[in-house]
Amino acid sequence: MVQREVVYVISDSVGETAEFVVKAVATQFNGGQVEIRRSSYVDDFEDIEDVIALAKKGNSIVAYTLVIPSLKEYLDQRANEEGILAVDLLSPLMNAFVTKFNKEPNHRPGLMRKLDEEYFRKIEAIEFAVKYDDGRDPRGIKMADIVITGVSRTSKTPLSMYLAHQGFRVANVPLVPEVPPPDELYEVPRKNCIGLVISPDKLNGIRIERLKALGLASRANYASFERILEELEYAEKIMKRVGCPVIDVSNKAVEETAGLILDVLKKERSK
């Protein structure tokens, strides 16, 4: 009777990385017909002994991703004593990092999972920013971590996306004299809302360039000084009513403004 080929995967985290590597290797041998048994969140010697007891009974390999030095050393010792082939999937590359980049590892399990969680939180924030961009759905205002409001062409959308890439759920609300802002804007806590203002000259130049890009006449009302002054005056009244902090974005890059937004709101939340 042919013994079943088994690979025991041991990890002090989930073990997905080790299992993925084992599967990738196994596909090179008869279509990958090998049984994989995963032991996740191994954090003491008893867990290792359980796997050792099973592995020594059959035709087995132990593949592991242990970053806690004491667990790795114990597994290496016990595998050697029992004549079990144990393969360390992380140390060769970690040692290369230490040698080439002169850095020391954290030796903390679960960091990859943490990175994955940050990634998915970022994706959720980006989807949120797209859904609640430009006041499309006022329901997002109450769910947002940050609410940005201001007149057209004050970089509300680029700021929303930039902050979303840092994991913040951002909704932005345009202020237009002919369209009353949603009631939800007046219900946002001061610590979650920021108003954007800009100099009339700067806004005039931005809007003229925008009209040119759209193939429209630069003399359109959208870019006229009278219209711009009207909008800025209206926006100022709304922001005062909301009671939110205000940032002048006239000569600031998106990255700089985003940093200021986070600083201002941090101070508001610490009050």
Binding-site positions for ADP: 150-157
Helix axes 254-270, 156-164, angle to 10 degrees: 70
Per the annotation, binding residues are 150-157
What token pair was written down for 71?
A: 């667990």
